[in-house]
């Protein structure tokens, strides 16, 4: 499949941490129409659909896409959707897939979202009894491993904080980002703890919005208006055991599978990367991706980011040139479950990233997801 | 007498009880912490699974663990899901404990009877039990004598 399938374009609605008064279908439809038009296509050209929220049949009816021959509803984060759509295209199940994602402030996430009665209805199981606090399942798992990270490497909170500061500085350059006001280390250290050792700024904020992509054959993409972004390698990495509290260690989880596979299957590696996207749903995930990818040694992710901090730019530029999550990441653009990272990579490689544009960007590395069930990798390039 | 499946679900509202872990929850009613163990190869696993991940035998049981171990990870919740008797005004400790039965075999629970400052990764603990709204809950206590 290498380089045989491409992302022909990407679009976003932008994101907000407010209750938008809109549905996920509304956001997905807006981003979808935008990307279909940018790619010079019409609704009749789309014969595949791939997304999680809303379900494919719902979006198909909303957009009036007359016929599709394939659709899928994979689970987040979004490398799964891009990889699955690419495989469907490569296998000939369809030719042109609309990949979409509408992050949403579900009533699980925030007390503020509960104020929207439609959101309460739209959040399944909200009124059911829930397990108590005696677990590190779900989001707490990253905090648990953050405690282990601090224990093993004797790092300070500032190591997590610099991830948040870099994200916020980048978001200031991104009009689509939800959180753009400046964030200082003092702000970070003064923020309230949520799940110690992690505070408010260590977690991505739930947002409303949408991203959409067109995935098709490279051959077809070359005949469309925007420069094709070729899918060089993709992987969903997972190991056993993978439960949050049974996962073997920070150096033996899905991230190692992702890195090993990308290095084996891809055509470039760190020395040739122009822009890097480590997932940042929680700050310790980012540090571990940086370390496991081999940018630096285990436990040195925070020090690495300090070493490559560009004071003039007020953000990390690895070797003075490679930005890290230039869109602001999930921490500051908003919790997009990876769709924002992929969309920004596409825009960077197409030269459409505005004031964030990395000059002559040709190769992007995306390491999405966390440790347990969702470590993913994607390598994109222009030729 | 073995409690029925229906009664078990009523005793543990909100808990994700399945055919694979029901014995674990029945054990809680007797203040016994039962985890998965293979009768064929002796390998422990958690949470309970229908098959031994090591040797693929379906002859697995829920067997009691001693409940002693070492804190592997430690979180302090400054906010969290509502639970009877849980007051987040003092951050609620949740620890993952590596049990003495087997390297990598872990169980997650809160810690009682200790200041949060004393709850540290590497510390030794032992199992205890509390009641929460009529539901037995496994907890850990610091096991200073075993440091």
Tokens of A166: 């870099």
Which positions in chain A touch B83 (Cβ < 8 Å)?
Answer: 132-133
Query: Which phi and psi (to 5°) does residue A225 adopt?
Result: -65, -30
Which is it for strands A229-237 and A375-381: parallel, antiparallel or unpaired? antiparallel
State the pTM of this model.
0.96
| pLDDT at residue A122 in the model | 82
- Confirm if B138 and B131 have CB atoms less than 8 A apart: no
CB burial class (10 A; 0-12, 13-18, 19+) of residue A238?
middle
CA distance, residue B4 to nearest chain A CA (Å): 20
A136 vs B75: CB contact, 8 Å cut-off? Answer: yes
Domain A5-106+207-217 class, CATH top level? alpha beta
Of B16, B53, B73, the CB nearest to A131: B16
Distance from C-alpha of A357 to C-alpha of A369, rounded to nearest angstrom:
24
Distance from C-alpha of A13 to C-alpha of A104, rounded to nearest angstrom:
12
At B2, the pLDDT band (50, 70, 90 cuts) reads confident
Q: Which residue of A has its CA nearest to B133?
A: A132
B75 vs A194: CB contact, 8 Å cut-off? Answer: no
At which residue do the structure tokens 């491409």 appear?
Answer: A6
A132 vs B83: CB contact, 8 Å cut-off? Answer: yes
Of B46, B72, B83, the CB nearest to A133: B83
B31-58: pLDDT as tens digits = 999 999 999 999 999 999 999 999 999 9
Q: Which of the residues A239, A245, A253 would you substitute to probe the B interface, choosing the one with the greatest number of B C-beta atoms within 10 Å?
A: A245
What are the angstrom distances between the C-alpha of A111 and each of A103, A115, A131, A140, B120?
17, 7, 18, 18, 31
For residue B55, what is the DSSP state? T
Give the strand order in the sheet containing B60-64: B44-45, B34-38, B60-64
- Could you give the ipTM of this predicted complex? 0.92
Of A128, A140, A241, the CB nearest to B75: A140
The residues in B 32-91 lying below 8 A from A, measured between CB atoms, are 45-47, 53, 72-81, 83, 86, 91
Which positions in chain B touch A135 (Cβ < 8 Å)?
Answer: 94, 108
Q: Which residue of B has its CA nearest to A192?
A: B78
Of B13, B47, B94, the CB nearest to A140: B94
Mean per-residue pLDDT of chain B: 95
Distance from C-alpha of A133 to C-alpha of A291, rounded to nearest angstrom:
31
Which positions in chain A touch B46 (Cβ < 8 Å)?
Answer: 243, 246
At which residue do the structure tokens 């310790």 appear?
Answer: A284
pLDDT in tens, chain A (383 residues): 999 999 999 999 999 999 999 999 999 999 999 999 999 999 999 999 999 989 999 999 999 999 999 999 999 999 999 999 999 999 999 999 999 999 999 877 677 888 888 888 887 777 777 778 999 998 899 999 999 999 999 999 999 999 999 999 999 999 999 999 999 999 999 999 999 999 999 999 999 999 999 999 999 999 999 999 999 999 999 999 999 999 999 999 999 999 999 999 999 999 999 999 999 999 999 999 999 999 999 999 999 999 999 999 999 999 999 999 999 999 999 999 999 999 999 999 999 999 999 999 999 999 999 999 999 999 999 98
A192 vs B83: CB contact, 8 Å cut-off? Answer: no
CB burial class (10 A; 0-12, 13-18, 19+) of residue A130?
middle
A136 vs B108: CB contact, 8 Å cut-off? Answer: yes
B78 vs A151: CB contact, 8 Å cut-off? Answer: no
Of A129, A147, A193, the CB nearest to B121: A147
> Per CB distance under 8 Å, which residues of A are interface residues toward B?
128-136, 140, 143-145, 147-148, 151, 192-197, 240-241, 243, 245-246, 248
| pLDDT at residue A106 in the model | 81
Tokens of A183: 């964030």
């Amino acid at each position: 499949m290498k380089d045989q399938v491409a992302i022909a374009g990407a679009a976003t609605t932008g994101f907000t941490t407010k209750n938008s008064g809109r549905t996920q279908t509304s956001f997905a439809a807006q981003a979808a129409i935008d990307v279909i038009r940018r790619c010079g296509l019409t609704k009749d050209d789309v014969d595949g659909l791939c997304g999680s929220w809303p379900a494919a049949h719902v979006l198909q009816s909303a957009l009036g896409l007359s016929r599709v021959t394939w659709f899928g509803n994979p689970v987040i984060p979004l490398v799964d959707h891009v990889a699955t759509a690419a495989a469907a295209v490569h296998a000939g199940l369809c030719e042109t897939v609309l990949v979409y994602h509408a992050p949403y402030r579900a009533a699980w996430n925030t007390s503020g979202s509960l104020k929207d009665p439609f959101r309460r209805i739209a959040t399944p199981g909200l009124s059911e009894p829930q397990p108590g606090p005696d677990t590190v399942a779900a989001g707490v798992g990253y905090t648990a491993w953050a405690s282990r990270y601090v224990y093993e490497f004797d790092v300070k909170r500032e190591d997590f904080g610099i991830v948040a500061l870099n994200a916020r500085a980048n978001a200031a350059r991104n009009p689509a980002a939800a959180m753009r006001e400046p964030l200082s280390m003092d702000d970070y250290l003064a923020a309230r703890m949520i799940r110690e050792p992690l505070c408010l700024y260590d977690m991505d904020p739930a947002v409303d919005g949408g991203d959409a992509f067109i995935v098709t054959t490279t051959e077809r993409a070359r005949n469309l208006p925007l420069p094709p972004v070729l899918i060089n390698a993709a992987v969903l990495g997972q190991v056993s055991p993978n439960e949050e509290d049974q996962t073997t260690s920070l150096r033996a989880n899905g991230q190692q599978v992702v890195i090993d596979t990308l290095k084996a299957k891809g055509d470039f590696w760190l020395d040739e990367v122009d822009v890097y996207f480590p997932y940042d749903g929680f700050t310790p995930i980012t540090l571990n991706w940086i370390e496991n990818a081999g940018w630096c040694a285990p436990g040195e992710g925070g020090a690495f980011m300090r070493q490559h901090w560009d004071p003039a730019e007020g953000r990390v530029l690895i070797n003075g040139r490679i930005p890290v999550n230039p869109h602001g990441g999930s921490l500051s653009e908003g919790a997009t479950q990876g769709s924002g990272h992929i969309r920004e990579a596409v825009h960077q490689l197409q030269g459409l990233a505005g004031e964030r544009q990395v000059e002559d960007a040709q190769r992007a590395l995306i390491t999405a997801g966390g440790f347990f069930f969702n470590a993913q990798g994607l390598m994109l390039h222009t030729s | 007498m073995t409690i029925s499946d229906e009664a078990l679900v009523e005793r543990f509202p909100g808990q994700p009880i399945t055919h694979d872990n029901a014995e674990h929850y029945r054990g809680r009613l007797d203040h016994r912490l039962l985890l998965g163990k293979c009768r064929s190869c002796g390998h422990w696993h958690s949470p309970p699974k229908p098959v031994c991940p090591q040797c693929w035998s379906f002859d697995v049981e829920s067997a009691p663990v001693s409940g002693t171990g070492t804190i592997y990870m430690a979180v302090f919740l400054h906010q969290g899901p509502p639970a009877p008797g849980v007051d987040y005004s003092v951050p609620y400790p949740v620890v993952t404990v590596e049990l003495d039965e087997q390297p990598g075999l872990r169980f997650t629970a809160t810690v009682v009877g200790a200041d949060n400052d004393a709850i540290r990764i590497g510390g030794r603990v032992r199992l205890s039990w509390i009641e929460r709204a009529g539901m037995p809950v496994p907890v850990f206590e610091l096991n200073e004598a075993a440091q």
